[in-house]
Amino acid sequence: MSSVRIVEVGPRDGLQNEAVLLPTQKKVELIDRLADAGLREIEATSFVSPQWVPQMADHADVMRRLVRRPGLRYPVLTPNLRGYQTAVASGAAHVAVFTSASESFARKNINSSIEESFARFAPVFEAARADGIPVRGYVSCAIACPYEGRVAPERVAHVARRLVEAGCYEVSLGDTIGVGTPATVMPLLEAVAAVVPLERIAGHFHDTYGMGIANVHAAYEFGVRVFDSSVGGLGGCPYAKGATGNVATEDLVYLLKDRGIDTGVDLDRLVDCAVWISQQLGRPLASRVGRALQCAAA
Protein backbone atom coordinates (compact mmCIF):
# COMPACT_ATOMS: atom_id res chain seq x y z
CA MET A 1 0.00 0.00 0.00
CA SER A 2 1.27 3.46 -0.89
CA SER A 3 1.64 6.08 1.82
CA VAL A 4 1.38 9.86 1.87
CA ARG A 5 2.72 12.21 4.51
CA ILE A 6 0.27 14.92 5.54
CA VAL A 7 1.51 18.14 7.11
CA GLU A 8 -1.41 19.64 9.01
CA VAL A 9 -1.10 23.44 8.87
CA GLY A 10 -4.42 24.40 10.46
CA PRO A 11 -3.08 25.70 13.79
CA ARG A 12 -0.72 28.05 11.94
CA ASP A 13 -1.65 28.75 8.33
CA GLY A 14 -5.29 28.00 9.01
CA LEU A 15 -5.69 30.36 11.95
CA GLN A 16 -3.41 33.22 10.94
CA ASN A 17 -6.03 35.00 8.85
CA GLU A 18 -9.00 34.41 11.15
CA ALA A 19 -10.55 37.54 12.68
CA VAL A 20 -11.49 35.69 15.86
CA LEU A 21 -8.46 35.51 18.16
CA LEU A 22 -8.51 32.00 19.52
CA PRO A 23 -7.40 31.64 23.18
CA THR A 24 -4.10 29.85 23.70
CA GLN A 25 -5.67 26.85 25.40
CA LYS A 26 -8.08 26.39 22.50
CA LYS A 27 -5.13 26.34 20.10
CA VAL A 28 -3.46 23.67 22.21
CA GLU A 29 -6.74 21.73 22.29
CA LEU A 30 -6.95 21.96 18.50
CA ILE A 31 -3.48 20.47 18.18
CA ASP A 32 -4.38 17.70 20.65
CA ARG A 33 -7.58 16.88 18.75
CA LEU A 34 -5.64 16.69 15.49
CA ALA A 35 -3.14 14.34 17.10
CA ASP A 36 -6.01 12.22 18.47
CA ALA A 37 -7.32 11.91 14.90
CA GLY A 38 -4.00 10.40 13.84
CA LEU A 39 -2.10 13.32 12.34
CA ARG A 40 1.60 13.06 13.03
CA GLU A 41 2.97 16.35 11.70
CA ILE A 42 1.13 19.42 12.95
CA GLU A 43 2.42 22.93 12.30
CA ALA A 44 1.83 24.46 15.70
CA THR A 45 2.41 28.20 15.35
CA SER A 46 4.51 30.95 13.82
CA PHE A 47 7.24 32.97 15.50
CA VAL A 48 6.51 36.14 13.60
CA SER A 49 5.95 39.62 15.00
CA PRO A 50 2.51 39.99 16.64
CA GLN A 51 2.35 43.35 14.90
CA TRP A 52 2.01 41.55 11.56
CA VAL A 53 0.08 38.45 12.65
CA PRO A 54 -1.79 39.09 15.93
CA GLN A 55 -3.23 35.55 15.96
CA MET A 56 0.28 34.16 16.54
CA ALA A 57 1.20 36.49 19.42
CA ASP A 58 1.04 33.61 21.91
CA HIS A 59 3.45 31.39 19.95
CA ALA A 60 5.77 30.69 22.88
CA ASP A 61 2.88 29.86 25.22
CA VAL A 62 1.40 27.45 22.68
CA MET A 63 4.69 25.57 22.41
CA ARG A 64 5.20 25.44 26.17
CA ARG A 65 1.70 24.12 26.84
CA LEU A 66 1.81 21.38 24.21
CA VAL A 67 1.75 17.85 25.52
CA ARG A 68 4.47 16.27 23.40
CA ARG A 69 3.71 12.80 22.06
CA PRO A 70 6.29 10.29 20.84
CA GLY A 71 6.57 10.18 17.07
CA LEU A 72 4.80 13.51 16.50
CA ARG A 73 6.36 16.59 14.95
CA TYR A 74 5.29 20.14 15.77
CA PRO A 75 7.10 22.36 13.24
CA VAL A 76 6.89 26.15 13.55
CA LEU A 77 7.54 29.04 11.21
CA THR A 78 10.66 31.09 11.97
CA PRO A 79 11.23 34.04 9.62
CA ASN A 80 14.53 35.17 11.11
CA LEU A 81 17.18 34.32 13.69
CA ARG A 82 15.33 36.02 16.54
CA GLY A 83 12.21 34.00 15.77
CA TYR A 84 14.28 30.84 15.53
CA GLN A 85 15.94 31.44 18.89
CA THR A 86 12.64 32.13 20.61
CA ALA A 87 11.11 29.03 19.02
CA VAL A 88 13.94 26.75 20.14
CA ALA A 89 13.84 28.22 23.64
CA SER A 90 10.12 27.38 23.67
CA GLY A 91 10.79 23.76 22.78
CA ALA A 92 10.57 23.71 18.98
CA ALA A 93 12.49 20.85 17.37
CA HIS A 94 11.46 21.44 13.73
CA VAL A 95 11.29 24.81 11.99
CA ALA A 96 10.38 26.29 8.62
CA VAL A 97 11.40 29.35 6.64
CA PHE A 98 9.41 31.00 3.88
CA THR A 99 9.96 33.14 0.83
CA SER A 100 8.16 33.78 -2.43
CA ALA A 101 8.59 33.26 -6.16
CA SER A 102 7.13 36.75 -6.66
CA GLU A 103 9.07 39.89 -5.79
CA SER A 104 5.90 41.94 -5.23
CA PHE A 105 4.40 39.35 -2.88
CA ALA A 106 7.68 39.00 -0.98
CA ARG A 107 7.69 42.72 -0.27
CA LYS A 108 4.05 42.69 0.82
CA ASN A 109 4.21 39.48 2.83
CA ILE A 110 7.65 39.56 4.44
CA ASN A 111 8.71 43.16 3.81
CA SER A 112 11.79 42.22 1.81
CA SER A 113 12.93 41.19 -1.62
CA ILE A 114 13.47 37.52 -2.39
CA GLU A 115 17.22 38.05 -2.16
CA GLU A 116 16.86 39.82 1.17
CA SER A 117 14.71 36.98 2.48
CA PHE A 118 17.53 34.51 1.82
CA ALA A 119 19.97 36.80 3.62
CA ARG A 120 17.53 37.07 6.52
CA PHE A 121 17.20 33.36 7.12
CA ALA A 122 20.82 32.39 6.36
CA PRO A 123 21.63 32.67 10.10
CA VAL A 124 18.63 30.41 10.78
CA PHE A 125 20.19 27.67 8.67
CA GLU A 126 23.52 28.15 10.40
CA ALA A 127 21.99 27.93 13.86
CA ALA A 128 19.78 24.98 12.88
CA ARG A 129 22.78 23.03 11.58
CA ALA A 130 24.59 23.64 14.85
CA ASP A 131 21.52 22.60 16.86
CA GLY A 132 20.66 19.59 14.69
CA ILE A 133 17.20 20.99 13.88
CA PRO A 134 15.61 20.20 10.49
CA VAL A 135 14.45 23.13 8.36
CA ARG A 136 11.57 23.04 5.90
CA GLY A 137 11.07 25.66 3.19
CA TYR A 138 7.95 27.31 1.77
CA VAL A 139 7.64 29.03 -1.59
CA SER A 140 4.61 31.30 -1.90
CA CYS A 141 2.95 32.22 -5.21
CA ALA A 142 4.16 29.08 -6.94
CA ILE A 143 1.41 29.40 -9.56
CA ALA A 144 0.44 33.06 -9.57
CA CYS A 145 0.74 36.29 -7.61
CA PRO A 146 -2.11 38.67 -6.69
CA TYR A 147 0.05 41.59 -7.87
CA GLU A 148 2.04 40.17 -10.79
CA GLY A 149 -0.25 37.50 -12.23
CA ARG A 150 1.14 34.21 -13.49
CA VAL A 151 4.55 33.19 -12.17
CA ALA A 152 6.87 31.29 -14.49
CA PRO A 153 7.61 27.74 -13.28
CA GLU A 154 11.32 28.40 -13.85
CA ARG A 155 11.25 31.20 -11.28
CA VAL A 156 9.72 28.85 -8.73
CA ALA A 157 12.27 26.17 -9.54
CA HIS A 158 15.12 28.65 -9.02
CA VAL A 159 13.83 29.62 -5.55
CA ALA A 160 13.13 26.00 -4.58
CA ARG A 161 16.63 24.92 -5.58
CA ARG A 162 18.16 27.73 -3.53
CA LEU A 163 16.18 26.64 -0.48
CA VAL A 164 17.43 23.07 -0.82
CA GLU A 165 21.00 24.25 -1.37
CA ALA A 166 20.69 26.43 1.74
CA GLY A 167 19.74 23.42 3.84
CA CYS A 168 16.01 22.66 3.55
CA TYR A 169 15.19 18.97 3.72
CA GLU A 170 11.93 19.67 1.88
CA VAL A 171 10.28 22.48 -0.08
CA SER A 172 6.55 23.11 -0.03
CA LEU A 173 5.18 24.75 -3.18
CA GLY A 174 2.28 27.03 -2.32
CA ASP A 175 -0.55 28.02 -4.65
CA THR A 176 -1.15 30.96 -2.33
CA ILE A 177 -4.14 32.47 -4.11
CA GLY A 178 -5.66 29.16 -5.16
CA VAL A 179 -5.87 29.79 -8.91
CA GLY A 180 -4.00 26.67 -9.98
CA THR A 181 -5.44 23.82 -12.02
CA PRO A 182 -3.83 20.51 -13.00
CA ALA A 183 -2.88 22.18 -16.28
CA THR A 184 -0.73 24.73 -14.43
CA VAL A 185 0.41 22.46 -11.61
CA MET A 186 2.02 19.91 -13.92
CA PRO A 187 4.44 22.36 -15.63
CA LEU A 188 5.33 23.70 -12.18
CA LEU A 189 6.21 20.25 -10.88
CA GLU A 190 8.15 19.39 -14.03
CA ALA A 191 10.28 22.53 -13.65
CA VAL A 192 10.93 22.07 -9.92
CA ALA A 193 11.57 18.32 -10.16
CA ALA A 194 14.24 19.05 -12.75
CA VAL A 195 16.35 20.78 -10.08
CA VAL A 196 15.01 19.35 -6.76
CA PRO A 197 14.61 15.63 -6.00
CA LEU A 198 10.93 14.69 -6.22
CA GLU A 199 10.94 13.17 -2.74
CA ARG A 200 11.83 16.61 -1.36
CA ILE A 201 8.84 18.39 -2.93
CA ALA A 202 5.53 18.98 -1.12
CA GLY A 203 2.27 20.40 -2.43
CA HIS A 204 0.45 23.23 -0.67
CA PHE A 205 -2.79 24.02 -2.47
CA HIS A 206 -5.53 26.52 -1.67
CA ASP A 207 -9.14 26.06 -2.68
CA THR A 208 -10.25 29.51 -3.87
CA TYR A 209 -11.66 28.16 -7.13
CA GLY A 210 -12.45 24.67 -5.86
CA MET A 211 -9.45 23.14 -7.61
CA GLY A 212 -7.37 22.28 -4.54
CA ILE A 213 -8.19 18.58 -4.36
CA ALA A 214 -7.88 18.21 -8.16
CA ASN A 215 -4.40 19.71 -7.88
CA VAL A 216 -3.52 17.26 -5.12
CA HIS A 217 -4.60 14.39 -7.36
CA ALA A 218 -2.52 15.72 -10.26
CA ALA A 219 0.52 16.16 -8.02
CA TYR A 220 0.09 12.66 -6.62
CA GLU A 221 -0.05 11.23 -10.14
CA PHE A 222 3.17 13.12 -10.86
CA GLY A 223 4.84 11.44 -7.87
CA VAL A 224 4.50 13.93 -5.00
CA ARG A 225 3.93 12.15 -1.69
CA VAL A 226 3.79 15.03 0.80
CA PHE A 227 0.85 17.42 1.06
CA ASP A 228 -0.02 20.31 3.34
CA SER A 229 -3.65 20.69 4.37
CA SER A 230 -5.76 22.46 6.96
CA VAL A 231 -8.50 21.00 9.13
CA GLY A 232 -11.90 22.33 8.15
CA GLY A 233 -10.41 24.10 5.15
CA LEU A 234 -9.24 26.94 7.39
CA GLY A 235 -6.84 29.46 5.95
CA GLY A 236 -6.24 32.37 3.68
CA CYS A 237 -3.57 35.01 3.47
CA PRO A 238 -3.72 38.60 4.77
CA TYR A 239 -1.68 39.72 1.73
CA ALA A 240 -3.74 37.88 -0.89
CA LYS A 241 -7.19 39.42 -0.94
CA GLY A 242 -9.92 36.94 -1.86
CA ALA A 243 -7.79 33.83 -1.37
CA THR A 244 -9.66 31.23 0.63
CA GLY A 245 -8.49 28.37 2.78
CA ASN A 246 -6.13 25.51 2.25
CA VAL A 247 -7.26 22.15 0.96
CA ALA A 248 -9.27 20.67 3.82
CA THR A 249 -7.52 17.79 5.54
CA GLU A 250 -10.80 15.85 5.53
CA ASP A 251 -11.08 16.18 1.74
CA LEU A 252 -7.47 15.10 1.32
CA VAL A 253 -7.85 12.06 3.59
CA TYR A 254 -11.08 11.04 1.84
CA LEU A 255 -9.41 11.19 -1.58
CA LEU A 256 -6.38 9.22 -0.46
CA LYS A 257 -8.42 6.65 1.44
CA ASP A 258 -10.52 5.95 -1.66
CA ARG A 259 -7.31 5.25 -3.56
CA GLY A 260 -6.14 2.80 -0.91
CA ILE A 261 -3.42 5.15 0.30
CA ASP A 262 -2.40 4.93 3.93
CA THR A 263 -2.55 8.18 5.92
CA GLY A 264 -3.00 6.83 9.44
CA VAL A 265 -5.82 9.35 10.00
CA ASP A 266 -9.26 8.53 11.43
CA LEU A 267 -11.62 10.44 9.12
CA ASP A 268 -14.56 10.51 11.54
CA ARG A 269 -12.47 11.97 14.35
CA LEU A 270 -10.95 14.45 11.94
CA VAL A 271 -14.38 15.66 10.84
CA ASP A 272 -15.39 16.03 14.50
CA CYS A 273 -12.32 18.21 14.98
CA ALA A 274 -13.21 20.26 11.89
CA VAL A 275 -16.73 20.85 13.20
CA TRP A 276 -15.39 21.82 16.62
CA ILE A 277 -12.83 24.37 15.40
CA SER A 278 -15.34 25.87 12.97
CA GLN A 279 -17.72 26.38 15.88
CA GLN A 280 -14.97 27.97 17.99
CA LEU A 281 -14.34 30.47 15.19
CA GLY A 282 -18.02 31.10 14.51
CA ARG A 283 -17.74 30.11 10.86
CA PRO A 284 -19.40 27.44 8.69
CA LEU A 285 -17.57 24.21 8.01
CA ALA A 286 -15.74 24.72 4.72
CA SER A 287 -14.81 21.17 3.76
CA ARG A 288 -17.04 19.33 1.31
CA VAL A 289 -16.38 15.93 2.87
CA GLY A 290 -17.09 17.27 6.36
CA ARG A 291 -20.43 18.68 5.26
CA ALA A 292 -21.36 15.49 3.40
CA LEU A 293 -20.58 13.27 6.38
CA GLN A 294 -22.56 15.59 8.65
CA CYS A 295 -25.58 15.32 6.36
CA ALA A 296 -25.23 11.52 6.13
CA ALA A 297 -25.20 11.27 9.92
CA ALA A 298 -28.23 13.54 10.39
> Could you read off the pLDDT of 169-192 as tens digits, one per residue?
999 999 999 999 999 999 999 999
Say which amino acid occupies 294: Q
**What pLDDT sits at residue 48?**
92
Q: Quote the CA–CA distance of 169 and 119 in Å, as a whole number.
A: 18
One-letter identity of residue 49? S
Burial of 261 (0-12, 13-18, 19+ CB in 10 A): middle
Residue 273 is among the residues annotated as catalytic for this protein: no
Q: For residue 161, give every residue at least 6 positions away whose Cβ sits within 8 Å of its Cβ, in sequence order, or none.
A: 195, 196
Alpha-carbon span 30 to 281, nearest angstrom: 12
Tell me what pLDDT residue 241 has.
55
Q: How far apart are CA 284 and CA 180, in angstroms?
A: 24
The CA distance from 14 to 235, in Å, is 4
**Domain locations in the chain as residue ranges:** 5-297
Which of 141, 237, 273, 295 is catalytic? The answer is: 237
Provide the whole-model pTM: 0.95
pLDDT tens-place values along the chain, 298 residues long: 478 999 999 999 999 988 899 999 999 999 999 999 999 999 999 999 888 899 999 999 999 999 999 999 999 999 999 999 999 999 999 999 999 999 988 887 777 899 999 999 999 999 999 999 999 999 999 999 999 999 999 999 999 999 999 999 999 999 999 999 999 999 999 999 999 999 999 999 999 999 999 999 999 999 999 999 999 999 865 555 545 689 999 999 999 999 999 899 999 999 999 999 999 999 888 888 878 877 776 6
What CATH architecture is 5-297? Alpha-Beta Barrel (3.20)
Cα within 13 Å of Cα(88), Cβ side? 17
251 neighbors 213 (Cβ within 8 angstroms): yes
50-83: b or e for each residue (b if 16 or more CB lie within 10 Å)?
eeebebbbbbbebbebbeeeeeebbbbbbbbbeb
